[in-house]
Amino acid sequence: MLIEQPPSFIRKLYPSLNWMEETNKNEVFITFDDGPTAGVTDKVLSLLKDHNAKATFFCLGKNVNQNPDLYQNILEAGHSVGNHTHSHLNGWKTTTKEYLSDALKAKEYIQSNLFRPPYGKMKPAQIQALKNHFKVVMWSNLSRDYDSFVSVDQVTDYATKNLNAGSIIVFHDSLKAREKVLPVLERTLLFLAKKGYKASAIKPSS
Ligand SMILES: [Zn+2]
């Protein structure tokens, strides 16, 4: 996933989207986009297990189709999953009909009503259409782990800056992020433990 510009103006335009997760506990929500990816997701799962942490994986339908065992491993480890479209569509460059149809195709592989838009980019009509099927989950902390020009220190800072109970952190279990996501995830998990935060999975609503 690549964001050319952070969609902070979308946040202002669409306060009804979920930029934080409601909670009355001291917990933070770590999320991963773009997997499952062989050689990355398995290592992420192992690190989460070592730290007794739960997370939410916003999967691409096409990647679940290619890595069904990894997808099962995510669920069996007690994490939650969400829909990140089938083929990583950019909503701004896609018709609403095509966008919804791609998301519903992914739903055949990903049994969840949580949805995160690739690049954070959706048109208003797409948001309306999605809301009939999904809870749209955005984020408060974009780590930029996919950006080769940003250091591990800086990515850790983006991930952990201004955290509160209910904060939603975005990482990527993708090939593009694989150099950074593991060291940054480990640092983030240690940071959360030090601050007394639990890492929890976002629950799909029934
Ligand atoms: Zn993505």
Peptide bond into 124 cis (omega under 30): no
Q: Band the pLDDT of 11: cuts 50, 70, 90.
A: confident
- Catalytic, 172? Answer yes
The residue from 33, 102, 145, 173 that is catalytic is 33
| Rounded distance between C-alpha atoms, residue 201 and residue 183, angstroms | 20
CA nearest to 55, candidates 23, 31, 77, 82: 31
Q: Band the pLDDT of 7: cuts 50, 70, 90.
A: low
Q: What is the pLDDT of residues 163-191, one digit of tens each?
A: 999 999 999 999 999 999 999 999 999 99
Residue 34 CA to ligand 1 centre (angstroms): 5
* Structural domain range at position 161: 27-200
Within-domain flag for 155: yes
pLDDT at 12: 74
The residue length of the chain stands at 206
Residue 170 CA to ligand 1 centre (angstroms): 10
pLDDT at 205: 78
Q: Summarize the confidence of residues 138-162 as an average pLDDT.
A: 93
Within-domain flag for 64: yes
Q: Give the total number of structural domains in the chain.
A: 1
Q: Is the pLDDT of residue 1 over 50?
A: no
Peptide bond into 6 cis (omega under 30): no
Q: What is the pTM of this model?
A: 0.94
Within-domain flag for 84: yes
CATH number of the CATH domain containing 90: 3.20.20.370
| Rounded distance between C-alpha atoms, residue 40 and residue 59, angstroms | 13
Residue 100 CA to ligand 1 centre (angstroms): 16
- Catalytic, 33? Answer yes
The residue from 34, 84, 172, 173 that is catalytic is 172
Q: Is the pLDDT of residue 200 over 50?
A: yes
Residue 136 CA to ligand 1 centre (angstroms): 14
